[in-house]
């Protein structure tokens, strides 16, 4: 079956393609000629994932999968959370977000955090969501060059490397997006959706 990825983040697309393998004929919204950013105005990851899937479904009548992700830091009361992409303001800037996060946490001994992904599938008018999380710590200095976003400062629990020090295969063995994808794949195996 054909699926469109309702995300404009090229790094997410790479990871999702790696995770989904050949289960689908995967297309991106860039192929639909979308010229604006998919709107997201919700106050939760669930709302935003749903909005992004709905936007693509309603405009293009396709089966699609959206991804809304956020980093929840305990010492910051769960921030940046749903605001992770624009933590340091407009325009979206991964490096500025990381700098701001380290600054906000500079006096904090508690470095614990959780990375969450909500994937929302739209297929023939139905919407289904899958959530994945990974616990970890925010390290004091960025490490590694792989991955994207907050990867250089997020070290999953039980590891001595950040996500940015891991290959995509290593990250995809344990990360939030991969865990949400695992639920999606289990759903696919059990349902008669496709």
Min CB(44)–ligand ITT separation in Å = 12
Q: Which of 16, 50, 54, 68 binds ligand ITT (CB under 6 A)?
A: 68
Task: Note if the bond before 142 is cis, omega within 30 degrees.
Answer: no
Query: Token pair for residue 22?
Result: 């050949």
Q: Which stretch binds ligand ITT (CB under 6 A): 20-28, 53-61, 126-134, 144-152?
A: 144-152
**Closer residue to ligand ITT (CB): 9 or 74:** 9
Q: How many residues bind ligand ITT (CB under 6 A)?
A: 22
Q: Which of 54, 72, 137, 151 binds ligand ITT (CB under 6 A)?
A: 151
Do residues 41 and 65 touch, judged by C-beta distance below 8 A?
no
> 103-112: which pairs have CB atoms within 8 A and are 24 or more residues apart?
104/76, 105/73, 105/75, 105/76, 105/138, 108/75, 110/74, 110/75, 111/75, 111/137, 111/138, 111/139, 111/140, 112/73, 112/74, 112/75, 112/136, 112/137
Q: Does 12 bind ligand ITT (CB under 6 A)?
A: yes
Q: How many CB atoms lie within 10 A of CB 98?
A: 21
Nearest CB to ligand ITT, comparing residues 84 and 129: 84
* Euclidean distance between CA atoms 192 and 14, whole angstroms: 27
Q: Is 176 annotated as a binding residue?
A: yes
Interacting span for ligand ITT (CB under 6 A) from 2-10, 18-26, 53-61, 106-114: 2-10
Four-point Cα dihedral 168, 173, 179, 182, nearest 10: 100
Comparing CB distances to ligand ITT, the nearer of 169 and 189 is: 169
| CA 110/CA 107 separation, integer angstroms | 9
Q: Does position 67 bind ligand ITT by CB under 6 A?
A: yes
Single out the residue of 9, 46, 112, 146 in contact with ligand ITT (rule: CB under 6 A).
9
Report if residue 69 touches ligand ITT, rule: CB under 6 A: yes
Nearer to ligand ITT, 59 or 191 (CB): 59
Phi, psi of 151 (to 5 degrees): -55, -40
Query: What are the residues binding ligand ITT (CB under 6 A)?
Result: 7-9, 12, 38, 40, 67-70, 84-85, 94, 97, 147-151, 163, 175, 177
Give the catalytic positions in this structure: 68
């Amino acid at each position: 079956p054909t699926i469109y990825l309702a995300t404009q983040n090229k790094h997410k697309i790479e990871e999702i393609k790696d995770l989904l393998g050949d289960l689908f004929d995967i297309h991106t919204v860039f192929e639909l000629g979308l010229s604006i950013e998919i709107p997201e105005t919700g106050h939760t990851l669930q709302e935003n994932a749903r909005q992004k899937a709905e936007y693509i479904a309603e405009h293009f009548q396709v089966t699609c999968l959206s991804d809304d992700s956020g980093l929840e830091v305990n010492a910051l009361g769960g921030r940046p959370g749903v605001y992770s992409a624009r933590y340091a303001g407009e325009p979206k800037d991964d490096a500025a977000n990381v700098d701001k996060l380290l600054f906000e946490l500079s006096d904090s001994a508690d470095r614990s955090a959780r990375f969450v992904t909500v994937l929302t599938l739209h297929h023939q008018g139905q919407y289904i969501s899958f959530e994945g999380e990974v616990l970890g710590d925010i390290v004091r200095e960025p490490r590694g060059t792989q991955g994207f976003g907050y990867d250089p400062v997020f070290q999953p629990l039980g590891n001595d490397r950040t996500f940015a020090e891991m290959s995509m295969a290593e990250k995809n063995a344990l990360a939030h997006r991969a865990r949400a994808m695992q639920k999606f794949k289990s759903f696919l195996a059990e349902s008669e959706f496709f």
